[in-house]
Amino acid sequence: MRFSVGLGLTNACNLSCAHCYRDTGPPQYLTLADVRRVCESLPVRAANLGTGENGLHPEFQAIVAYLRERDVATSITSNGYTLSIVDDDQLRAFHDVEVSIDFPTEAEQDAFRGPGNWRLVLEQLDRCRRLGVTATVIAVMMRTNYDRLAEVARVAAEHGAYFRVNVYQPVRADAFTLSYEQYWEGFRGLFAATRIVSCSEPLVNALLGLGGGCGCGRSTVRVTPRAEVLPCVYWPKRALTLADLERAGAEIPRSAAFEEVLTVPAACRACAYVATCGGGCASRRALRGRLDEPDEYCPVVRGGALALDYRLAAGADLPKVGSACTTIVQAEGAVSRNGAS
Protein backbone atom coordinates (compact mmCIF):
# COMPACT_ATOMS: atom_id res chain seq x y z
CA MET A 1 0.00 0.00 0.00
CA ARG A 2 1.19 3.51 -0.83
CA PHE A 3 0.26 6.40 1.43
CA SER A 4 -1.15 9.86 0.95
CA VAL A 5 0.79 12.20 3.23
CA GLY A 6 -0.22 15.62 4.47
CA LEU A 7 2.83 17.73 5.24
CA GLY A 8 2.19 20.77 7.40
CA LEU A 9 5.46 22.47 6.57
CA THR A 10 4.70 25.48 8.74
CA ASN A 11 1.98 27.11 10.82
CA ALA A 12 3.19 30.55 9.70
CA CYS A 13 0.73 32.51 7.57
CA ASN A 14 0.42 36.02 6.17
CA LEU A 15 -3.31 35.98 6.97
CA SER A 16 -5.25 35.34 10.16
CA CYS A 17 -8.57 33.78 9.16
CA ALA A 18 -11.03 33.30 11.99
CA HIS A 19 -12.00 29.75 11.03
CA CYS A 20 -8.48 28.33 10.57
CA TYR A 21 -7.42 25.27 12.56
CA ARG A 22 -3.66 25.99 12.48
CA ASP A 23 -1.69 26.61 15.66
CA THR A 24 -1.30 30.39 15.97
CA GLY A 25 1.65 30.18 18.35
CA PRO A 26 5.28 30.90 17.39
CA PRO A 27 6.20 29.70 13.88
CA GLN A 28 7.13 26.03 13.63
CA TYR A 29 8.77 24.37 10.62
CA LEU A 30 9.23 20.87 9.30
CA THR A 31 12.72 20.77 7.90
CA LEU A 32 13.87 19.24 4.64
CA ALA A 33 15.49 16.55 6.79
CA ASP A 34 12.10 15.87 8.42
CA VAL A 35 10.44 15.49 5.03
CA ARG A 36 13.18 13.07 4.00
CA ARG A 37 12.53 11.03 7.15
CA VAL A 38 8.84 10.78 6.23
CA CYS A 39 9.51 9.73 2.64
CA GLU A 40 12.15 7.21 3.65
CA SER A 41 9.80 5.67 6.25
CA LEU A 42 6.77 5.20 4.00
CA PRO A 43 5.95 4.34 0.40
CA VAL A 44 4.44 7.73 -0.47
CA ARG A 45 1.91 8.03 -3.30
CA ALA A 46 0.98 11.67 -2.91
CA ALA A 47 1.77 14.61 -0.67
CA ASN A 48 -0.23 17.73 0.10
CA LEU A 49 1.46 20.82 1.49
CA GLY A 50 -1.04 22.48 3.77
CA THR A 51 -1.69 23.93 7.28
CA GLY A 52 0.02 27.37 7.03
CA GLU A 53 1.23 29.32 3.99
CA ASN A 54 4.07 27.15 2.72
CA GLY A 55 5.90 29.84 0.78
CA LEU A 56 6.89 31.40 4.11
CA HIS A 57 9.00 28.33 4.89
CA PRO A 58 12.74 29.04 4.41
CA GLU A 59 13.28 25.59 2.79
CA PHE A 60 10.08 25.56 0.73
CA GLN A 61 11.78 25.50 -2.66
CA ALA A 62 14.20 22.74 -1.60
CA ILE A 63 11.37 20.60 -0.18
CA VAL A 64 9.30 20.89 -3.37
CA ALA A 65 12.36 20.00 -5.46
CA TYR A 66 13.02 16.95 -3.26
CA LEU A 67 9.43 15.69 -3.60
CA ARG A 68 9.64 16.21 -7.35
CA GLU A 69 12.86 14.17 -7.50
CA ARG A 70 11.09 11.32 -5.69
CA ASP A 71 8.23 11.47 -8.21
CA VAL A 72 5.69 12.15 -5.46
CA ALA A 73 2.42 13.60 -6.79
CA THR A 74 2.49 16.86 -4.86
CA SER A 75 -0.38 19.27 -4.31
CA ILE A 76 -0.39 22.53 -2.42
CA THR A 77 -3.13 24.41 -0.59
CA SER A 78 -2.58 28.17 -0.58
CA ASN A 79 -4.33 31.46 0.09
CA GLY A 80 -2.72 32.68 -3.13
CA TYR A 81 0.49 34.11 -1.71
CA THR A 82 2.75 31.08 -2.26
CA LEU A 83 1.55 30.62 -5.83
CA SER A 84 2.33 34.24 -6.57
CA ILE A 85 6.01 33.86 -5.58
CA VAL A 86 6.84 30.72 -7.61
CA ASP A 87 7.75 30.82 -11.28
CA ASP A 88 5.81 29.04 -14.02
CA ASP A 89 8.06 25.96 -14.07
CA GLN A 90 7.68 25.53 -10.30
CA LEU A 91 3.92 25.93 -10.57
CA ARG A 92 3.77 23.29 -13.30
CA ALA A 93 5.56 20.87 -10.96
CA PHE A 94 2.46 20.56 -8.79
CA HIS A 95 0.02 17.76 -9.53
CA ASP A 96 -2.83 19.93 -8.22
CA VAL A 97 -2.99 23.48 -6.89
CA GLU A 98 -5.66 24.45 -4.36
CA VAL A 99 -6.71 27.97 -3.43
CA SER A 100 -9.16 28.98 -0.73
CA ILE A 101 -12.38 30.83 -1.52
CA ASP A 102 -15.13 30.74 1.09
CA PHE A 103 -17.53 33.35 -0.32
CA PRO A 104 -18.74 34.09 -3.85
CA THR A 105 -18.07 37.85 -3.95
CA GLU A 106 -14.97 40.01 -3.67
CA ALA A 107 -16.38 42.07 -0.81
CA GLU A 108 -17.24 39.02 1.32
CA GLN A 109 -14.00 37.18 0.61
CA ASP A 110 -11.81 40.19 1.36
CA ALA A 111 -13.74 41.01 4.51
CA PHE A 112 -13.16 37.45 5.73
CA ARG A 113 -9.55 36.89 4.60
CA GLY A 114 -8.05 40.31 3.92
CA PRO A 115 -8.08 43.10 1.33
CA GLY A 116 -6.91 42.00 -2.11
CA ASN A 117 -7.23 38.28 -1.46
CA TRP A 118 -10.06 37.75 -3.97
CA ARG A 119 -8.15 39.24 -6.88
CA LEU A 120 -4.93 37.45 -5.94
CA VAL A 121 -6.66 34.08 -5.85
CA LEU A 122 -8.47 34.59 -9.16
CA GLU A 123 -5.24 35.76 -10.80
CA GLN A 124 -3.53 32.54 -9.72
CA LEU A 125 -6.45 30.40 -10.88
CA ASP A 126 -6.31 32.02 -14.30
CA ARG A 127 -2.54 31.53 -14.37
CA CYS A 128 -2.99 27.82 -13.62
CA ARG A 129 -5.55 27.58 -16.39
CA ARG A 130 -3.17 29.25 -18.84
CA LEU A 131 -0.32 26.92 -17.88
CA GLY A 132 -2.45 23.76 -17.94
CA VAL A 133 -2.09 23.16 -14.19
CA THR A 134 -4.99 21.37 -12.50
CA ALA A 135 -6.58 23.73 -10.00
CA THR A 136 -9.12 23.28 -7.24
CA VAL A 137 -10.97 25.86 -5.19
CA ILE A 138 -11.39 24.75 -1.60
CA ALA A 139 -13.95 26.09 0.86
CA VAL A 140 -14.88 25.30 4.43
CA MET A 141 -18.61 24.72 4.88
CA MET A 142 -19.61 26.93 7.83
CA ARG A 143 -22.76 28.39 9.32
CA THR A 144 -21.85 31.64 7.53
CA ASN A 145 -21.63 30.22 3.99
CA TYR A 146 -23.34 26.80 3.82
CA ASP A 147 -26.08 28.25 1.60
CA ARG A 148 -23.61 30.03 -0.72
CA LEU A 149 -21.40 27.15 -1.77
CA ALA A 150 -23.16 26.54 -5.08
CA GLU A 151 -22.25 30.13 -5.98
CA VAL A 152 -18.61 29.53 -5.04
CA ALA A 153 -18.66 26.39 -7.19
CA ARG A 154 -19.74 28.52 -10.15
CA VAL A 155 -16.86 30.93 -9.50
CA ALA A 156 -14.51 27.95 -9.56
CA ALA A 157 -16.01 26.71 -12.82
CA GLU A 158 -15.67 30.12 -14.44
CA HIS A 159 -11.94 29.92 -13.78
CA GLY A 160 -11.52 26.31 -14.90
CA ALA A 161 -11.27 24.76 -11.44
CA TYR A 162 -12.76 21.92 -9.46
CA PHE A 163 -14.45 22.74 -6.16
CA ARG A 164 -13.64 20.97 -2.89
CA VAL A 165 -15.55 21.33 0.39
CA ASN A 166 -14.50 20.46 3.92
CA VAL A 167 -16.97 20.66 6.79
CA TYR A 168 -15.86 23.06 9.54
CA GLN A 169 -14.36 21.29 12.52
CA PRO A 170 -14.47 22.86 16.02
CA VAL A 171 -10.70 22.66 16.55
CA ARG A 172 -10.42 26.09 18.17
CA ALA A 173 -13.99 27.32 18.66
CA ASP A 174 -17.64 26.65 17.84
CA ALA A 175 -18.20 30.00 16.16
CA PHE A 176 -18.61 28.52 12.67
CA THR A 177 -20.04 25.09 13.53
CA LEU A 178 -23.00 24.04 11.41
CA SER A 179 -26.31 23.03 12.90
CA TYR A 180 -27.71 19.66 11.87
CA GLU A 181 -30.11 21.36 9.45
CA GLN A 182 -27.41 23.59 7.96
CA TYR A 183 -25.10 20.63 7.36
CA TRP A 184 -27.65 18.78 5.23
CA GLU A 185 -29.06 21.90 3.55
CA GLY A 186 -25.50 22.78 2.56
CA PHE A 187 -24.94 19.47 0.80
CA ARG A 188 -28.38 19.47 -0.84
CA GLY A 189 -27.79 22.93 -2.29
CA LEU A 190 -24.29 22.05 -3.44
CA PHE A 191 -25.35 18.82 -5.15
CA ALA A 192 -28.29 20.50 -6.85
CA ALA A 193 -25.88 22.79 -8.72
CA THR A 194 -22.91 20.49 -9.37
CA ARG A 195 -21.80 16.98 -10.24
CA ILE A 196 -19.88 14.88 -7.72
CA VAL A 197 -16.31 13.92 -8.55
CA SER A 198 -15.63 12.29 -5.18
CA CYS A 199 -17.16 12.29 -1.70
CA SER A 200 -15.50 10.82 1.37
CA GLU A 201 -17.34 12.86 4.01
CA PRO A 202 -18.46 9.71 5.90
CA LEU A 203 -22.16 10.39 6.48
CA VAL A 204 -22.76 11.85 3.04
CA ASN A 205 -20.75 9.13 1.31
CA ALA A 206 -22.77 6.46 3.10
CA LEU A 207 -26.15 7.93 2.15
CA LEU A 208 -25.05 8.39 -1.45
CA GLY A 209 -23.95 4.74 -1.57
CA LEU A 210 -20.74 5.60 -3.38
CA GLY A 211 -18.56 3.14 -1.47
CA GLY A 212 -14.90 3.73 -0.74
CA GLY A 213 -14.67 6.31 2.00
CA CYS A 214 -11.97 8.22 3.81
CA GLY A 215 -8.41 6.98 4.25
CA CYS A 216 -7.98 8.39 7.76
CA GLY A 217 -6.43 5.75 9.99
CA ARG A 218 -5.77 3.50 7.01
CA SER A 219 -3.85 5.01 4.13
CA THR A 220 -3.19 8.61 5.11
CA VAL A 221 -0.57 10.10 7.41
CA ARG A 222 -0.47 13.72 8.54
CA VAL A 223 2.64 15.42 9.89
CA THR A 224 2.23 18.73 11.72
CA PRO A 225 4.74 21.61 11.79
CA ARG A 226 5.69 20.31 15.25
CA ALA A 227 6.64 16.97 13.66
CA GLU A 228 3.66 15.20 15.26
CA VAL A 229 2.29 12.24 13.30
CA LEU A 230 -1.50 12.03 13.08
CA PRO A 231 -4.12 9.84 11.37
CA CYS A 232 -6.16 12.97 10.53
CA VAL A 233 -5.23 16.63 10.42
CA TYR A 234 -8.00 17.44 12.93
CA TRP A 235 -7.24 14.57 15.33
CA PRO A 236 -6.86 16.16 18.79
CA LYS A 237 -4.61 13.51 20.35
CA ARG A 238 -0.89 13.99 19.73
CA ALA A 239 0.87 10.76 20.70
CA LEU A 240 3.20 9.93 17.81
CA THR A 241 6.42 11.53 16.54
CA LEU A 242 8.62 11.12 13.48
CA ALA A 243 10.71 8.67 15.48
CA ASP A 244 7.58 6.51 15.91
CA LEU A 245 6.92 6.74 12.18
CA GLU A 246 10.47 5.64 11.39
CA ARG A 247 10.11 2.63 13.67
CA ALA A 248 6.67 1.60 12.41
CA GLY A 249 7.08 2.47 8.74
CA ALA A 250 4.22 1.20 6.59
CA GLU A 251 2.79 -0.55 9.67
CA ILE A 252 1.85 2.81 11.22
CA PRO A 253 -1.91 2.13 10.68
CA ARG A 254 -1.56 -0.72 13.19
CA SER A 255 -0.46 1.67 15.94
CA ALA A 256 -2.92 2.29 18.76
CA ALA A 257 -3.20 5.97 17.81
CA PHE A 258 -4.26 5.16 14.25
CA GLU A 259 -6.56 2.31 15.21
CA GLU A 260 -8.40 4.60 17.65
CA VAL A 261 -9.57 6.77 14.77
CA LEU A 262 -11.43 3.70 13.43
CA THR A 263 -13.50 3.39 16.62
CA VAL A 264 -17.11 2.53 15.79
CA PRO A 265 -19.63 3.62 18.44
CA ALA A 266 -21.70 0.80 19.92
CA ALA A 267 -24.90 2.50 18.76
CA CYS A 268 -23.69 2.32 15.15
CA ARG A 269 -22.55 -1.27 14.91
CA ALA A 270 -25.87 -2.70 13.70
CA CYS A 271 -26.55 0.17 11.28
CA ALA A 272 -26.92 -0.63 7.58
CA TYR A 273 -24.47 2.15 6.74
CA VAL A 274 -21.71 1.24 9.19
CA ALA A 275 -19.40 -0.36 6.60
CA THR A 276 -18.93 2.96 4.78
CA CYS A 277 -19.80 5.46 7.53
CA GLY A 278 -17.97 3.93 10.50
CA GLY A 279 -19.91 6.10 12.92
CA GLY A 280 -19.20 9.34 11.09
CA CYS A 281 -16.17 11.60 11.33
CA ALA A 282 -14.00 10.31 14.17
CA SER A 283 -12.13 13.60 14.60
CA ARG A 284 -15.39 15.53 14.95
CA ARG A 285 -16.55 13.07 17.59
CA ALA A 286 -13.19 13.20 19.39
CA LEU A 287 -13.12 17.00 19.36
CA ARG A 288 -16.51 16.88 21.08
CA GLY A 289 -15.21 14.37 23.62
CA ARG A 290 -17.72 11.86 22.26
CA LEU A 291 -15.68 9.39 20.22
CA ASP A 292 -17.93 6.56 21.43
CA GLU A 293 -21.11 8.29 20.23
CA PRO A 294 -22.51 8.67 16.70
CA ASP A 295 -21.59 11.70 14.60
CA GLU A 296 -23.73 14.70 15.57
CA TYR A 297 -24.93 15.03 11.95
CA CYS A 298 -26.17 11.44 11.65
CA PRO A 299 -29.79 11.29 10.46
CA VAL A 300 -30.23 7.60 11.32
CA VAL A 301 -30.00 8.17 15.08
CA ARG A 302 -32.63 10.87 14.64
CA GLY A 303 -35.10 8.43 13.16
CA GLY A 304 -34.20 7.68 9.55
CA ALA A 305 -31.96 8.30 6.56
CA LEU A 306 -32.24 11.29 4.26
CA ALA A 307 -32.66 11.27 0.50
CA LEU A 308 -30.01 13.13 -1.47
CA ASP A 309 -30.36 13.90 -5.15
CA TYR A 310 -27.06 13.98 -6.98
CA ARG A 311 -25.30 13.54 -10.31
CA LEU A 312 -21.86 12.14 -10.90
CA ALA A 313 -19.04 13.77 -12.85
CA ALA A 314 -16.16 11.95 -14.47
CA GLY A 315 -13.51 10.84 -12.02
CA ALA A 316 -10.35 12.91 -11.66
CA ASP A 317 -6.77 12.19 -10.66
CA LEU A 318 -6.72 14.50 -7.64
CA PRO A 319 -4.54 13.66 -4.62
CA LYS A 320 -7.31 14.50 -2.15
CA VAL A 321 -9.71 11.91 -3.58
CA GLY A 322 -10.28 9.43 -0.76
CA SER A 323 -7.48 10.82 1.40
CA ALA A 324 -9.55 13.09 3.64
CA CYS A 325 -13.15 13.62 4.77
CA THR A 326 -13.92 15.89 1.86
CA THR A 327 -16.22 16.41 -1.13
CA ILE A 328 -15.05 17.34 -4.63
CA VAL A 329 -17.53 18.57 -7.22
CA GLN A 330 -17.57 20.14 -10.64
CA ALA A 331 -20.00 22.84 -11.67
CA GLU A 332 -21.32 23.05 -15.19
CA GLY A 333 -18.86 24.78 -17.48
CA ALA A 334 -15.72 23.76 -15.53
CA VAL A 335 -12.66 23.43 -17.69
CA SER A 336 -10.28 20.50 -17.53
CA ARG A 337 -6.50 20.66 -17.40
CA ASN A 338 -6.15 20.42 -21.16
CA GLY A 339 -8.64 23.23 -21.73
CA ALA A 340 -11.63 21.12 -22.81
CA SER A 341 -14.98 21.66 -21.15
Q: What digits encode the pLDDT tens for the residues 55-92?
A: 999 999 999 999 999 999 999 999 999 999 999 999 99
Q: What residue numbers bound the domain in which 241 lies?
A: 3-262+309-331
- Give residue 84's pLDDT: 96
| Position 219 in a domain | yes
Q: Is residue 301 part of a domain?
A: no
Q: In one letter, which amino acid is 329?
A: V
Q: How confident is the model at residue 210 (pLDDT cuts 50, 70, 90)?
A: confident
Total domains in the fold of the chain: 1
Spatial CB neighbours of 192, under 8 Å, sequence gap ≥ 6? 150, 309
* CA of residue 273 relative to chain centroid, distance: 23
For residue 337, the model assigns a pLDDT of 42
Q: Is residue 283 included in any domain, yes or no?
A: no
How do beta strands 194-199 and 327-331 pair?
Answer: antiparallel
CA distance 198 to 189: 16
**pLDDT tens per residue, range 91-144:** 999 999 999 999 999 999 999 999 999 999 999 999 999 999 999 999 999 999
Q: Is 26 helix (H, G, I), strand (E, B) or coil?
A: coil
Inside any domain, residue 293: no
Provide the CA 236 distance to its chain's centre, in angstroms. Answer: 16
Classify 208 as helix, strand or coil.
helix
Query: Does residue 7 carry a pLDDT above 80?
Result: yes
Residue 110, domain member (yes or no):
yes
Return d(Cα 41, Cα 271) in angstroms, integer: 37
The enclosing H or E element of 221 equals strand 220-223
Residue 275 lies in a domain: no
We report the CATH number of the domain holding residue 244 as 3.20.20.70
Q: Provide the whole-model pTM.
A: 0.93
Facing residues of 140 across strands? 166
Q: Which residues, other chains included, contact 101 with Cβ-Cβ below 8 Å and sequence gap of 6+?
A: 109, 118, 121, 137, 138, 139, 152, 155, 156
Query: What's the rounded Cα separation, in Å, for the pair 12 and 114?
Result: 16
Q: Would 337 be classed as within a structural domain? A: no
Cβ 42 vs Cβ 6: under 8 Å: no
pLDDT tens digits for range 170-204: 887 788 999 999 999 999 999 999 999 999 999 99
Query: How far is the first Cα of the chain from the last one, in angstroms, to the nearest whole number?
Result: 34
DSSP state of 114: -
> What is the average pLDDT value for the chain, to the nearest integer?
91
Say what the pLDDT of residue 230 is: 95
Interatomic CA distance for residues 97 and 77, integer angstroms: 6
Q: Is residue 146 part of a domain?
A: yes
pLDDT interval class at 322 (50, 70, 90): low
